[in-house]
Copies of this chain bind each other. A is one copy, B any other.
Amino acid sequence: MAAPGDSIEVLDHGFVRLDAVMADDLSVVNAARVSFGARREAMDDRDAGLVRFLMRERHGTPFEHNFFRFHIKAPLFVTREWQRHRIGSFNERSGRYSELPDEFYVPAASAVRTQVGKPGAYTFEPLPDDAAEEVRTGIESSYAESYGRYRELLDAGVAKEVARSVLPVGLYTEFYWSVNARSLMNFLSLRNAAAAQHEIRVYAEAAEQHFARAMPVTHGSFVDQGRTAP
């Protein structure tokens, strides 16, 4: 598992780095025990039981008194899903103020997949190896053409904010995300889940490693309770 400050590599060029963290299971216990005017200096077994009780009964607020700041590099289409989560803070690289670098997501052959089944009940299967390689090549050359056009537009003096229109959503961006454990669990329940798109799920798995290390009792309860956020 990752140490705080560690960066976990994700996809072909991305990462989830824990930039700062102030989070432990004790903060959950103390937020709950203030109901009784009580406070602990360290966790014991009864406190672990209290965390499980809070998770099971969906008492969510005690899980909010902590802090994770992630630094993330991900494709735009992943970032778009991520930033729909409103309880948390984002700052992202700007395509208005800086030239965007030439880095794009090309799926590994095993991630070049086809969709099987009906709307609402899709499953995915990998394409055969040859087809997958052809797809990868096609995606790469499309990215190259688009980025070439972007450079041409910039060279012609077109403003960055206009030129970026031709850049595809496979482009990598980077952003900070600050969030508390309650909101993080909500994210994990939806994004490290079977229904999530593979490409955001691997990011959610990385974020979950950081979470599990900082708050092992909380994380264990989250898993035991079926990964439903309190």
Show the binding face of A for B, using Cβ within 8 Å.
Answer: 20-22, 27, 30-32, 34-37, 53, 57-58, 61-62, 64-67, 69, 71, 75-77, 80, 83-84, 86-87, 89-98, 101, 104-105, 107, 111-115, 119-120, 122, 124, 127, 131, 134-135, 138-139, 142-143, 145-146, 149, 152-153, 156-162, 164-170, 174-176, 178, 180, 190, 195, 197
Contact = CB atoms under 8 A, between A and B. Distances in A.
A169 B164 contact: yes
A62 B84 CA distance: 13
A90 B83 CA distance: 11
Copies in the complex: 4
Contacts of A120: 53
Contacts of A190: 58
A112 B162 contact: yes
